[in-house]
Amino acid sequence: MTEKNEILDTNDGVRIRAADTNLSFEDAYKQLADLVKKMESGALPLADSVAAYEQAVKLKAYCEQMLKAAEMKIEQLNPSA
């Protein structure tokens, strides 16, 4: 079991807090999409844009990790594909 403040490394070398890994794929993806919209709007101050970008990178890595795990599970269930 992980502690909420424990830092985890993803396969891409991105470090995220264990508390962030309690998100479902759908919730993480929605947060990522929302951050992208905010950054693209140009309304965020520079410091907030940098923080949003940092979080977006983490969410992207987390989503990719979850998709890879799902893909591996599917491959195990259907090895002939």
pLDDT in tens, 67-81: 999 999 999 998 776
In this predicted structure, what is the pLDDT of residue 22? 82
Q: Which domain holds residue 19?
A: 7-77
Query: 28 and 14 in contact (C-beta within 8 Å)?
Result: no
> The domain that contains 70 carries what CATH number?
1.10.287
Q: What is the pTM of this model?
A: 0.71
In this predicted structure, what is the pLDDT of residue 73? 94
In this predicted structure, what is the pLDDT of residue 33? 95
In this predicted structure, what is the pLDDT of residue 17? 54
Number of domains within the chain: 1
Q: Which amino acid, one-letter code, is at 51? A: A
In a domain, 1, yes or no: no
Listed in order, strand segments (DSSP E) in the chain are 7-9, 15-17
In a domain, 38, yes or no: yes
Express each pLDDT in 9-64 by its tens digit: 444 444 555 455 688 999 999 999 999 999 999 999 999 999 999 999 999 999 99
